[in-house]
Structure 1
């Protein structure tokens, strides 16, 4: 089983591209489990309310703990996820100012070494991402400076964890082609 994650700012296209990728894998006759974070409806409801950054951190950790246990029990060729623990590091750590090493340690404890095989980071400037994003709530309702910090966090994480960084400001067709090209360098 291979675990593939799509990361990026809201509005970067990660949800659209991850679903396109699932269709691509399915067309190749692979079994695929598609998922996203937040995972549980109950915790997502709490997350979508106006929460402090510390509260959001622990809600995401609780949600992720439940999510990872579900993922470990999948019997498929691929798990494709829209977000993972890197989002929490980028948003609550870099963007929200919680100690990054602390956020990483908490997430490492929760995921218990169940880490993605591949991460596609769809990089997009915050102003473009925000102009594309259709939802504004407790998570996204921040200022441009916040999203600049989150983006910088993702760029730092991409270097540290060897993400595939894809220019998400390109056309959707080209973004998807670049994802497939990266995927094929590893799995084909």
Structure 2
């Protein structure tokens, strides 16, 4: 099984491109499970109620624990996920000011050895990303400095963990085409 994750700041296009990539894999005849975080609707409701950063950290960890246990039981060729534990490290750690090493350790405890085979990081500036968001919710409605810190976190993790970094400044079709090109070059 191949576990592929799409990461990026809100408005980077990761949700749309991950769904396009899902369709690409389905068209090739693979069995694919599409998933996203937050995973559980009950925890998602709590997350959307504008909790403190510390509360958000533990809500995401609880959600992820449930999510990972479900994913481990799947028997498909690919799992494609919109977000993973890297989001928590970037948003609650780098952006939210909780010690990054502490957030990383908690996430390692939750995911154990269930790590993505491939991470596509869709990189764009916060200015571009925020201009794409039509309706801002409690989580997304943060100031530019926050998203700059989150992006810096992603860029740091991308170097440490060899993410495939895709320039997401352009239109979605270009971003998707670049994603497929990188994927086919590396894995086909």
> Please, what TM-score do these two structures have when normalized by structure 2?
0.98
Which residue number corresponds to residue 178 of structure 2? 178
The whole-number CA distance in structure 2 between the counterparts of 1:135 and 1:6 is 21
Give the 5 Å matches for 1:5-24.
Answer: 5-24=5-24
Partner of 2:35: 35
Query: 1:187, CA displacement in angstroms?
Result: 2.1
**1-structure distance, mates of 2:145, 2:40:** 29
Q: What are the ranges of 5 or more consecutive residues in structure 1 without an aligned counterpart?
A: none
After superposition, what is the alpha-carbon deviation per residue over 1:51-89, rounded to whole angstroms, capped at 9, x for unaligned? 000000000000000000010011000000000000000
Alignment-derived partner of residue 47 in structure 2? 47
Alignment of 1:1-188 (within 5 A): 1-188=1-188
Q: Distance in 1 between matches of 2:136 and 2:112?
A: 32
Residue 106 of structure 1: CA displacement? 0.3
The CA RMSD over aligned residues, in Å, is: 0.7
**Could you tell me how far apart the structure 1 residues matched to 2:11 and 2:131 are?**
7
SS state at 1:30 partner: coil
Aligned length: 188
* Ranges in structure 2 where 5+ consecutive residues have no aligned partner: none
Deviation at 1:171, TM superposition (A): 2.0
Q: TM-score, normalised by structure 1?
A: 0.98
Conservation of the 8 A alpha-carbon contact between 1:49 and 1:137: no
In structure 2, how many angstroms separate the alpha carbons of the residues matched to 1:153 and 1:50?
Answer: 22
Deviation per residue, 1:132-172 (Å, 9 max, x gap): 01332231121000000000000001001100010101121
State whether residues 11 and 130 of structure 1, in contact with CA within 8 Å, keep that contact through their aligned partners in structure 2: yes
Deviation by residue 1:103-146 (Cα, 9 ceiling, x = unmatched): 00000000011000000000010011011013322311210000
1:185 to partner: Cα distance: 2.3
